[in-house]
Structure 1
Amino acid sequence: MESTKNTKDSGNFLNTAVELALHAGQLIKRMAKQSHTITFKGAVDLVTEADVASEALVIAGIKERFPDHGILAEEKGIEQGESEYLWIIDPLDGTTNYAHGFPVYGVSIALEYRGEITVGVVYEPNLDELFTAEKGKGAFLNGAPIRVSETRELDRSLLATGFPYNFRTDPDRIIKLFTGFSLNAQGIRRAGAATIDLISLACGRFDGFWEFGLKPWDMAAGGLIAAEAGARITRMEGRSYDIRVPEIVASNGFIHDQMLAVILRSFS
């Protein structure tokens, strides 16, 4: 049973996500000017002090407002709550970019209720762009409605992708698919932040996106925003998309079947 506080504040989930994403985004932007303390979760999987500070800020804000909600955060893992709400947090998507001073990164906050993402917020502090969505209510950039592109041919499309952290030990399928799309699309960009790729799809900057090896926090908020902007999202073979399955194909809808055909040819 949801607490009295949850019932009272049920209309404030989006506002909470917006407030915390803005605060965390400004924090990591300020910290970007400092030298970084970098630790490694893997050979190419970095963590900075900004990841930790941003995540702590967001978690503290959620716990203050909704103390019985669960939290799934990239650095701290999952903390089960007593309610059916689960906040999914990427405190700094694009950490490698951030550590190298490449200004493509953001904060991602999503809310899941009974297995469905209902709120998604992504803030890109360098461009001061706030992307928001609620399930069934459309997607917005700084308060203005956004839609996916209307590009209808793959060979006229600009795509985005990323390489998973295990790329060095399992490069074959990644290279095969990258080659397949390189030969069939107008262009491909690899900016290093799946969340940013998804919001860029949502507002029509990209026409399609695919990636292996993703985590729930990479897809939860950006996936909802893209879907609410009209995107079609599936797994690689076309089955239903699931943030707990580590792969995604997302498009403006018009080129989706063409993308799936490239994937099939690449692996057949």
Structure 2
Amino acid sequence: MAEYSEELKIAKKAAGKASEIIKEFRDNHNFEINFKGKNDLVTDADLAAEEMILSIIRDAFPDDRILAEESSTQKVLPEERTWLVDPIDGTTNFAHGFPVFCVSIALWEKQEARMGLILEVNKQEYFHAIKGKGAYLNNDPIHVSSIEDSQYSMIGTGFPYNDLSLLQNYLRIFEWLLHRTQGVRRPGAASYDLCCVAAGRFDGFYEYALNPWDVGAAGLLVQEAGGKVTDWQGGSNWLFGRRIVAGNPEIHDFLIKAIREHFTEAEIKG
């Protein structure tokens, strides 16, 4: 049995059960919306889905650590085996009935991504990767795009919901990219955006103010699909650094250069 295949099996099981819960809340329109902070939504569906995921992981791997969006406050990644769980990435989309939201589950060990699984709930698209084994969509191999010229590229991004400290320059680079690409898209779920990079739907992606459970699984997908994932400095601190750039190698580097032109050194470093 391939290394981490049992973990992937458990992640798929947990994501599938969580998806059933999420769809039931969605179809019955019976969820309650609360706020953790400004524009920071949490619903009954988030809490119920997370409870299901954590229960399944703990039953299978009782000694593992877990960092989950709705129940964790930890700001560093342990050396031990640690699961990163986002029960609904795209809660605002879910709450408004906009059909892009995902379950994201990752396993990190010795501070490296080992396994990642993302389920886009509405289309039931299962994206997964095991380190060194490639990236897959519904068990079919996927790869980043081969586009090298930015004028033929499509870029994904997101707008932070509660940290608007970089907004002025963020809007400037958005406008700048509109003149130099075929388009910029904002689906509203970073894990899905990164999966789109891995599958070649987007050629690149950038955002700030993200959390580890937003990117911990899908970042591995991009890497295993042949892409590059870094922080805004071009370094490796993209999990907790709250700044991420991803893409095929050429478009990733194009975005890094664009960021350097539009943000101060302090803003890039974070």
Whether TM exceeds 0.5 here: the answer is yes
> What is the CA–CA distance in structure 2 between the aligned matches of 1:78 and 1:139, rounded to whole Å?
30
Structure 1 contact 167–174 (Cα < 8 Å) conserved: no
Aligned to 1:250: 246
Task: Give a deviation string over 1:147-177, Cα, whole Å, max 9, x none.
Answer: 0111111111110100112344552232222
In the alignment, is residue 23 of structure 1 matched against residue 17 of structure 2? Answer: yes
Aligned to 2:65: 70
Label 1:119 to 1:208 Cα distance change in 2 as closer, same or farther (>3 A).
Answer: same
> What is the CA–CA distance in structure 2 between the aligned matches of 1:264 and 1:69, rounded to whole Å?
39
Structure 1 contact 154–259 (Cα < 8 Å) conserved: no
Please give the TM-score of this superposition, normalised by the length of structure 1.
0.91
> What is the CA–CA distance in structure 2 between the aligned matches of 1:129 and 1:142, rounded to whole Å?
6
Structure 1 contact 162–191 (Cα < 8 Å) conserved: yes
1:54-93 correspondence to structure 2 within 5 Å: 54-77=49-72, 84-93=80-89
Detail structure 1 runs of 4+ shifted over 6 Å in the superposition.
Answer: none
Q: Which runs of 5+ in 1 are unaligned?
A: 1-8
| Percent of aligned pairs with the same amino acid | 43
> What is the CA–CA distance in structure 1 between the aligned matches of 2:48 and 2:199, rounded to whole Å?
29
> What is the CA–CA distance in structure 2 between the aligned matches of 1:78 and 1:70, rounded to whole Å?
13
Aligned to 1:215: 211
Label 1:192 to 1:45 Cα distance change in 2 as closer, same or farther (>3 A).
Answer: same
> What is the CA–CA distance in structure 2 between the aligned matches of 1:189 and 1:72, rounded to whole Å?
29
How many residues were matched structurally?
A: 259
Structure 2 contact 79–109 (Cα < 8 Å) conserved: no
Please give the TM-score of this superposition, normalised by the length of structure 2.
0.91
Structure 1 contact 130–142 (Cα < 8 Å) conserved: yes
Counterpart pick for 1:110 among 74, 93, 106? 106
Structure 1 contact 132–139 (Cα < 8 Å) conserved: yes
Label 1:125 to 1:10 Cα distance change in 2 as closer, same or farther (>3 A).
Answer: closer
Q: Which amino acid aligns with 1:258?
A: F
> What is the CA–CA distance in structure 1 between the aligned matches of 2:176 and 2:85, rounded to whole Å?
32
In the alignment, is residue 96 of structure 1 matched against residue 92 of structure 2? Answer: yes
Structure 1 contact 216–244 (Cα < 8 Å) conserved: yes
RMSD of aligned residue pairs (Cα, Å): 1.9
Label 1:252 to 1:83 Cα distance change in 2 as closer, same or farther (>3 A).
Answer: closer
In the alignment, is residue 14 of structure 1 matched against residue 14 of structure 2? Answer: no
Label 1:135 to 1:78 Cα distance change in 2 as closer, same or farther (>3 A).
Answer: farther
Counterpart pick for 1:165 among 136, 161, 165? 161
Q: Which runs of 5+ in 2 are unaligned?
A: 265-270
Structure 1 contact 180–263 (Cα < 8 Å) conserved: no
Aligned to 1:122: 118
Deviates more, 1:22-31 or 1:44-53: 22-31
Q: Which amino acid aligns with 1:26?
A: E
